[in-house]
Each structure stands twice: as structure tokens, then as C-alpha cells.
Amino acid sequence: MVFWDGYVSDETMGTFAPIVVYWIYAGFFQVMLASGFLDKHRLHTREEGEKKNLVPLSTVIKGVLLLQIMQIATAHLYFSLTSSGVVLAPQTAATIQPSSSIPIQILQIVVAMFVMDAWQYFGHRYMHHNKFLYRHVHSQHHRLVVPQAVGAMYNHPLEALLLDVGGSVASLLVSGMTPGAEVVFLCLASMKGVDDHCGVWFPNGAGGNNVVLHLLVANRSAYHDVHHQSRGGKYNFSQPFFSFWDRLMGTHMPCVVLKRPGGGYEAKMAMKE
């Protein structure tokens, strides 16, 4: 039983909830940064963003909205196919295991996280290593040299289809998720993408980051910020949840977060190439 049961269908929640969560969460960071409220937590100065980023915020928003229209269409197709039995439906798990079993749903979400990370790591890394794909596809995302929360989904449509949609579908199918777990997982993935690009660092004890999902993982805003830096394109491909693929495949670049003399923080590579 989920709180929206009887009010909104699982298909509708799975389609629209991640988008709503994305704009609420990204909007929070954008508004707080624009107001200056989070200036002391910035990983880049306001001037850096204005100088280094190759696209204005309005273009980023339009690009994300375009991709989310595509996301709605593909989600509708996915739920239509799974509910009709054309492909293996995640709901099959619900007939074997009680849908109200919290441990089962948590396990499904964890499995989905690992599937998503594997799909994203190797796809993302290939987008960088293949010169044609980087130049014509993935470079669109890196027009945001200084990451922005609302730009987490600012990707080329082909990349969005192959990495984001493909990774989501693979994660849902492999994990055999119940409908309620699908919604939770997709919303978590949406939030984590925003976290990685928020450009904000909250110190916590020995240099941790207490942005919502970063309490549990090492793949944080500073970790991904390094990847967006000029020398970081060969490192830190892992996304959205964990960083172990980088460690296993030799592409891990540790970083240190230092206080900026003028206020805020700065992420730097902990070792030279």
C-alpha cells in the first residue's frame, strides 16, 4: 500500500513524480543560489558560472523541458508494454512477493541502483572516449563547465535516450520492482542527479557533504565537479549513486575541498594526472 493508492495510478506517479521532484529540488538550489543565501557554500563563484558556462540558464531550462517531454512519452510506452505483458513486467514480482514487504522493496531499489550505476558508468565513459559521440552528443552536457542543479538533465536527446531512459528501463526490469518501489527509485535517481550538479558543498565533520543523499554515498557534488573541470574529463564517470566503478576501472580521481579565500569552497584534484 502506498499513500497515492486510490488517488493516482502507479503509472501516472512513475511518469510524473520524478519530473515534479526534479523541478522542486533543482529549483530550491537555483533560488537559494540566486538569492545569495548559499553563497558561502558555493563550489564556484557566481562570476565563474557567468564566464565559463557556454549556455545561458534559459537555454538549459528549455533543453531539460524538451527531454522531459521525451521522458513522458517513453515512460508511457514502457508502462503500456509492461502492463500488457509484451515485455517482462516489474509487477510480476508483486505476485510472488507481498507488495507491502518493505525489505523486499528496499532490496529491489538497491539492486536497481547497482544496475543503473553500471549502465551509466560504461555508457558515460564511452561517450567521452569516442570522439564523434563526445563532439556531437555528450559535449552538450559539458557546456555547463560550472554545474548547475537545473542542468543535471541538460543532455543531448540521443544521450538522454541511451543513458537515462535506457538505464532506467534496465534498472526496473532487472530488479523486478513493485510499482511503489519504481516510483521511489525514479525519484531518488532524479534527486541524486540534481545533488551531483548542485554546485554546493555543505561541510560535515571531516569534509563530508550533508546534501540529502550524499550522507550515504561517496559520489558527491565535489566528486562530480572534478569531472566537469578541464582536466577531469578522463575521471569520475560514476553516476548517479556510487563511485566504485571508477575505483574498479582505474578512473577514480580523489578530490579535496578547500575553502575559497573570498568565501565558499573549491574542489581540486588530489593528485596530478
pTM: 0.88
The pairing of beta strand 265-269 with beta strand 255-259 = antiparallel
Sequence-distant (≥ 6) Cβ neighbours of residue 166 within 8 angstroms:
119, 123
Question: CA–CA separation, 262 vs 230, rounded Å?
Answer: 22
pLDDT in tens, 218-246: 688 999 999 999 888 999 999 999 999 99
pLDDT at 82 over 50: yes
Q: Which residue has the cell 554515498?
A: 217
207: left (phi over 0), alpha (psi -120 to 50) or beta: left
- What the block records as the C-alpha cell of 90 is 516489474
Is the torsion defined by CA of 61, 193, 123, 268 positive or negative?
Answer: positive
pLDDT in tens, 203-213: 764 344 444 44
Nearest-5° Cα angle at 66, 64 to 67: 65
